[in-house]
A and B are shown apart, each in its own frame.
Chain A
Amino acid sequence: GAVVSQHPSWVICKSGTSVKIECRSLDFQATTMFWYRQFPKQSLMLMATSNEGSKATYEQGVEKDKFLINHASLTLSTLTVTSAHPEDSSFYICSARQGEFVNTEAFFGQGTRLTVV
């Protein structure tokens, strides 16, 4: 299957700083990428849908000014957590789809564990 690489896998940052998480599709072009958040022992909650070259679509309740998403190319999307606080500590997962109307499978990155201290 296609490979989605997420970096970093694990990051600790101080409260008030910003953290950038990268999501790359290594062997395919991802028209659409998705960003999820997962709290311990809970399911994945969609934060936003990112389309290459356009603004991300955020789910209700997700602060777009706090979680900045950039999808500048067909192989890279970034999530920046701005002015991070301890409550932002979570597991963030990206996924990507190849093309449109062709492949219904979503490929997932390995996730990023963010700890804000």
Chain B
Amino acid sequence: AQTVTQSQPEMSVQEAETVTLSCTYDTSESNYYLFWYKQPPSRQMILVIRQEAYKQQNATENRFSVNFQKAAKSFSLKISDSQLGDTAMYFCAFKRGRNAGNMLTFGGGTRLMVKP
């Protein structure tokens, strides 16, 4: 079974600053996908970024980027130029293989507060 661990229950950052959220996972799979989801106060889950394990290049989406260290099984999320709208719960998630029927395993979440 896969496990996903987010060691930071809460974090805060000043607006316009950069913050990094940590995520580690444990798996024996070689083919898998990693995701970061954002859950704002509305509770709607929003995909922030995803990474295919077979790709060495770290994924980037505008102000969001990841540091994927496959050997260390680490998948951190960096948010640059933090904005007030980034305040939310962030969940790291793991999915094995490419089968659409494979479920997502979520970490415990990190509550991020962006301060003005």
Instruction: List residues of A whose CB falls within 8 A of some B CB.
Output: 1, 31-32, 34, 38, 41-44, 46, 49, 51, 91, 93, 95, 97-106, 108, 110-111, 113
Contacts and interface: CB of A to CB of B under 8 A. Distances in A.
A104 B95 contact: yes
Given A49-B101, A105-B50, 14 more contacts: A1-B47, A31-B101, A32-B100, A34-B103, A42-B108, A43-B109, A46-B103, A95-B45, A101-B99, A103-B100, A106-B104, A111-B43, A111-B45, A113-B43
B interface secondary structure, majority: loop
Interface string B49-62: 01010000000000
Interface in B36-95: 37, 42-47, 50, 52, 91, 95
A31 B106 contact: no
Nearest to B43: A111
B33 A104 contact: yes
